[in-house]
Amino acid sequence: MSKKDFISLRDFSKYQLLDIISLAKEVKSDSQGLRDYMYGKHVGLLFEKPSLRTKTSFFIGAQQLGANSIYYDPEEVRLGKREEVRDVSRTLSQYLDAIVLRTFSHRNILEFAGFSSIPVINGLSDFCHPSQAIADILTIIELKQEVEGLKVAYIGDSNNVCNSLINAFSVLGGNFYIATPQECAFDQKIIQEAKNKFNQSNGSLTLGVSPQEAAEGADVLYTDVWSSMGSEKEAEQRKKIFQDFQINGKILKKAKSNCIVMHCLPAHRGQEIADEVIEGDNSVVFLQAANRLHAAKAILMFTCDK
């Protein structure tokens, strides 16, 4: 049987995504019942960038399913520097049953997956963050029952988190509005491909709107940091470019009164989100964080299924 990777949500159909979400709901409601699902297996975590949620949720998630987790110090492995990606990939395939990778370059994940004989799970790259989007969709479905028909407004940077949300909504439906400064570029391949999928899923993708237009009547407001890991040097310049793209009290007032406010975290209060909003009644950021664990377990089960 060929291995199943989890690298980008572009690779999955609506039904495969819904299967992963169903697994996440199942593990959430029955955390004890699946504790031997990965009994005796070994899951590696190789992260080139910092992580709190992704590292912890895959580490503990694997253990709750009966597997052992091994965390590699990135300075020890120095992927592509001490040793070529393809050699690390083929070596770790001899010992592990799955690996979660967080890399600067998405190409490294693709190369790793191309040479490995074990499932490769993307724990964030510069291009996408699919495990976050699974937790986000789980959160939205828990609170709003379904995605179809919702207005979701993303205000901020056209980054990895945004790309995975585009992929998810393109097959699940929903009306996704994205407000970014003009300086933000989108990968046109993603947009074109997503637009075709949105057409088939009764959803829509709207780009180039103001934060106010995006937020008007929204069911969900979402934001992420203005400078992602790896672009810290641009942080000061980006603060100026993004200054009007903050989710604050005024923006929240434009949305529906029962709108949920989402952020993948870590958050920078006073930049992409105002303190009063992230701490306010509409914020669901810690439910999202909690759901990372259930999403991680579902992704491990999906990729390592028996």
Give me the 84-123 binding string for ligand CP, x by CB under 6 A, dash otherwise. Answer: ----------------------------------------
- Cα 251 to Cα 69: distance, rounded to the nearest angstrom: 42
Query: How many Cβ atoms sit within 10 Å of the Cβ of residue 60?
Result: 14
- Laid out side by side, the sheet with 175-179 consists of 204-207, 175-179, 151-155, 220-223, 260-263
The residue within the footprint of ligand CP, chosen from 7, 8, 46, 51 (CB under 6 A), is 51
Cβ-closest residue to ligand NVA? 228
Q: Phi/psi at 47 (nearest 5 deg)? A: -120, 120
What are the residues binding ligand NVA (CB under 6 A)? Answer: 124, 129, 159-161, 224-225, 228-229, 264
Q: CB-wise, 191 or 229, nearer to ligand NVA?
A: 229
Nearer to ligand CP, 50 or 217 (CB): 50
> Which of 20, 251, 264, 295 contacts ligand CP by CB under 6 A?
264
* 224: partner contacted, choices ligand NVA, ligand CP, none (Cβ within 5-8 A by kind): ligand NVA
Q: Which is nearer to ligand CP, 249 or 266 (CB)?
A: 266
Nearer to ligand NVA, 106 or 129 (CB): 129
Q: Residue 132 interacts with ligand CP (CB under 6 A)? A: yes
Query: Does 124 sit near ligand CP (CB under 6 A)?
Result: yes
Cβ atoms of 261 and 278 closer than 8 Å: yes
Q: Is 265 in the site for ligand CP (CB under 6 A)?
A: yes
Is 287 among the residues that bind ligand CP (CB under 6 A)? no
Least distance between ligand CP and beta carbon 191 (Å): 23
Q: Does 180 bind ligand CP (CB under 6 A)?
A: no
- We find the least distance from the C-beta atom of residue 54 to ligand NVA, in angstroms, to be 7
| Residue 49 beta carbon to ligand CP: minimum distance, rounded to whole angstroms | 7
Minimum Å gap between C-beta 253 and ligand CP is 27
Neighbours of 19 (CB within 10 A): 15
Among 12, 38, 45, 53, binds ligand CP (CB under 6 A): 53
What residue ranges bind ligand CP (CB under 6 A)? 51-55, 124, 132, 264-266
